[in-house]
Chains A and B, each alone.
Chain A
Amino acid sequence: MAVPTLTIDDVKRIVPEASDIQTPMRGGQKLVFPCKIEGEERVLKFLLANLDVDTLDTEAATRNAFDEVTARAIREIETMRQCNSPYIVRIGPISLKRVEFNNQNLLFFSEEMIKGEDVKETLLRERQLPIREVILIGIHITEAIKILWNFSKIHRDIKPGNIIKNQRTMNYVLLDMGLTFDLSESSITRFGIIVGTIPYLSPERTQFNYKRQLDFRSDLFSLGIVLYEGITGKNPFLTPNIRTSDDVVHNILTLNVPSPNSIRQDIPIELNDIIIRLLTKHPHSRYRTCDELLTAFTSININEGG
């Protein structure tokens, strides 16, 4: 996927209300510029839109599956706007805009700036996380899944790289609503295409014909993988024998993962049981509600210093 070609000076011209614009980072299909807007630290996100679609209307864009970039950006912004939560990244003062610049058809919007490290970076450095942090990730991301589900949405891309620890609030925050799937609307993803990151897919997400029955329990499975990886340092489905993504999918569908406490001894049994339950192959065996899972997390007996 192409990413826009823009300099800091270009951004100054496109968004004159932005100041202190910093060197950009690349995030998926987006070019992300840290900056200040109305005195607050924000990020500006730029994408390349498809020229064929000339609308910013949600329904029309969603109906027209040709421009997935626009549709996803609209979906992302809608999700952030609806889900006002400390555990989900918030929309900034500039909502979705379209501009033509240097022969590029650009979409851009602003988001809150969250300073901190994502869980993927932390795991690369530390290999494993403290038990308290894993429980906090569990609680905060379950809260995020819960609020998304209140709007009939599932995230579909929960993974360590999409979870950041906010330095200011110390909350874990779920990022990137671009793949959020709204079960109450028509799909923006063409039939037969699996979106998301394969090692974090739920079993039902690997089956094309399952999409219409997806619910928040699919996100709970992905959260289970994140927690497993956080506490053991290993994604349970990335076993040494895998060669292709099909092997990973096969593992997701069939592998009974080893209990986390068979890898790390100091895991409270309650947390171990929660992770195993989140990783059950059938959604019916996970948790009926996010509230039940939150209760389970808060009842974990954790020793001081854990």
Chain B
Amino acid sequence: MNKSIYTQHGYGKGDKINKGLQNDLVSGVILSPKDESPDTLSSYITDLRQNYSSSKILLDPQFYVATISPVIDGHLPEYEGYYHPNLTRTDFSPANIQRYVEECINYQISLNLDRIISPTVSFDDFKDTWSQISIFLAQQSLQYYNTLNDKPPLLIALVFSENALKGEDMNEFLNIITTFNAKGFYIIVNRNLRQYQQQIEPEILENFLHFTYILSVINNFEVILGYTDLVGIPLHVSGAMATACGWFSNLRQFSLSRFQPTSGGRTPRPRYTSIPLLNSILVVPEMDSIRRAGMLREIITSTSYDAGMKTNPVDNPWPPEISCLHHWESLRNVINHIESLPDIRSKLAWIKSRIERANLLYNSLSQRGVAFETGFSHLQQWMQAITGFRNRLGI
């Protein structure tokens, strides 16, 4: 499969996925059963197959939601064939693990998917009990998968907290999972973010880059990273086969709180993805301030959707669907460029220069009085992480 971005499906898909696939902005979709009934999901897969035969269709079974309590699991309880809510540690006996795995894989085989994604549980630490359960589920998935004929390739799912990526514990975990005889991995990192932003601790990003590099470049696994948004750009540099993001902020960046009760949220404010700034900024007030500072041209990405934003973003209609398609096209163009570069050395040099340019741009904007709600410290964090990663590779 070509390196690319996938749509992370969720609530309120409207026509976005179809348009994304139709216009080749995304090359696949990762479906969310939480957000569709089984019948709707099944017929939706049939439609996607008929209309976009070359696109990749995957389903994240979201088995990890079963251990969250209290939980908002949407349609998941309707997936009685494999989803069992309110599971606790004691429910993961060998016999039960075998049953969960078989049910989950069988369900996916009954659909016409391009990959099977193994059931998993989320964990906070590579040495905790839940990570062991995650390994057992993966091993059982491999074992069961090997008994089947005519099956799509298997991806082992991993869902873990970004805090797990601090320190060196990931190495022993990597030593284990690199022995798995699977096609690849579907990985979701649970972020600690309170609001939509691009910040990530340098140590976490450096280890995430390394984790991806070890699996993809060194061990030739297909690595698909869910809910990655703009941080997916450096992760492509380190070898990810695909990164996925959706439309709302909770489909761009993953948090288990997506499956927990909330006191309600506000309507998302329109955002514009600026590749020169390596950020998705608020149309009001940030982009408007940039216009008033006379620097709009410098931050424009130039996609098929943003012509109207080049002059007066506030008055230009920027509905969520267009914002989303623009976001996907922005990411696709960057990823295509990364993939055109010959090796990791040149990819790292390229991302480094893009960060430096973005930083200069932010500094100019700051000098002209433009303020950003979440600042631009993510650039420094990304740079630090990439420098650390380069040093590890000896580049």
Interface residues as binary, A282-301 with B (CB distance below 8 Å gives 1, 0 otherwise)? 11110010001000000000
In the assembled complex, the CB of B22 is this many whole angstroms from the nearest CB of chain A, namely 37
How long is the Cα–Cα vector from A185 to B218 in the complex, in angstroms? 30
Interface contact A284-B220, CB-CB below 8 Å: no
List 24 A-B pairs, Cβ < 8 Å.
A204-B175, A213-B172, A213-B175, A213-B176, A215-B179, A282-B171, A282-B174, A282-B175, A283-B175, A283-B178, A284-B171, A284-B174, A284-B175, A284-B178, A284-B214, A284-B218, A284-B219, A285-B214, A285-B218, A288-B178, A288-B218, A288-B219, A288-B220, A292-B220
Which residues in B have their C-beta under 8 angstroms from that of A285? Answer: 214, 218
Chain B residues with CB under 8 Å of A292's CB are 220
Closest B residue by C-beta to A204: B175
- Chain B's interface size range is 10 to 19
Interface string of A182-205 (1 = CB under 8 A from B): 000000000000000000000010
Q: Which of chain A's residues have a CB closer than 8 A to the CB of B174?
A: 282, 284
Contact with B along A208-220 (1 / 0, CB 8 A): 0000010100000
CB-CB nearest in chain A for B213: A285
Residues of B within 8 A of A (CB): 171-172, 174-176, 178-179, 214, 218-220
Q: How distant is B237 from chain A, measured CB to nearest CB, in Å? A: 18
Closest B residue, CB atoms, query A276: B394
Chain B residues, CB < 8 A from A215? 179
**Smallest CB separation, A257 vs chain B (Å):** 13
A38-B134 Cα distance, complex, nearest whole Å: 56
Q: Which of A248-306 contact B (CB under 8 A)?
A: 282-285, 288, 292
Whole-angstrom CA separation of A260 from B174 in the bound complex: 27
Q: Which of A282, A284, A285, A288 has the most CB of B within 10 A?
A: A284
Mostly helix, strand, loop or mixed at chain A's interface?
helix
* Chief secondary structure at chain B's binding surface: helix
A residues with CB within 8 A of B: 204, 213, 215, 282-285, 288, 292
Cα A204 to Cα B176 in complex, Å, equals: 13
Q: A288-B219, A288-B220 are in contact. List 8 more A-B contacts (CB 8 A).
A: A213-B172, A213-B175, A213-B176, A215-B179, A282-B174, A285-B218, A288-B178, A288-B218
A284 to B171, CA, bound (A): 8
Q: How many Å lie between the Cα of A213 and that of B179 in the bound state?
A: 10
Report A150 CB to chain B, min CB distance, Å.
Answer: 13
* Nearest CB in chain B: distance from A134 CB, A: 23
Contacts of A284 in B (CB 8 A): 171, 174-175, 178, 214, 218-219
A285 closest partner in B (C-beta):
B218
- Closest chain A residue, CB of each to CB of B220: A288
Assembled-state Cα–Cα distance A159/B175 (Å): 24
- In the bound complex, what is the Cα–Cα distance between A213 and B172 (angstroms)? 9
Residues of A near B218 (CB, < 8 A) are: 284-285, 288
- Cα–Cα distance between A215 and B172 once the two chains are bound (Å): 13
| Residues of B contacting A213 in the complex (Cβ-Cβ under 8 angstroms) | 172, 175-176
Q: What's the nearest-Cβ distance from chain B to residue A107, in Å? A: 35
Chain B residue with the shortest CB-CB distance to A277: B218
Chain A residue numbers with a CB within 8 Å of B172 are 213
Closest Cβ of chain A to B178, distance in Å, is 4
Chain A residues whose CB sits within 8 angstroms of the CB of B171 once the complex forms: 282, 284
Residue of B nearest to A282 (CB): B171
Residue on A with the closest CB to B215?
A: A284
Q: Which residues of A contact B220 (CB under 8 A)?
A: 288, 292
B171 to chain A, nearest CB (A): 5
Report, nearest first, the 3 A-B pairs whose CB atoms are least far apart: A284-B174, A284-B178, A288-B219
A288 to B183, CA, bound (A): 13
CB distance from A265 to the nearest CB of B (A): 20
Report the separation of the CA atoms of residues A292 and B220 in the bound assembly, to the nearest whole angstrom: 10
What separation, in Å, do the CA atoms of A264 and B179 have in the docked complex?
A: 34
Complex: A166 Cα to B123 Cα, angstroms: 52
Which residues of A sit under 8 angstroms from B219, Cβ to Cβ?
284, 288
**Which residues does chain A contribute within 8 Å of B178, judged by CB atoms?**
283-284, 288
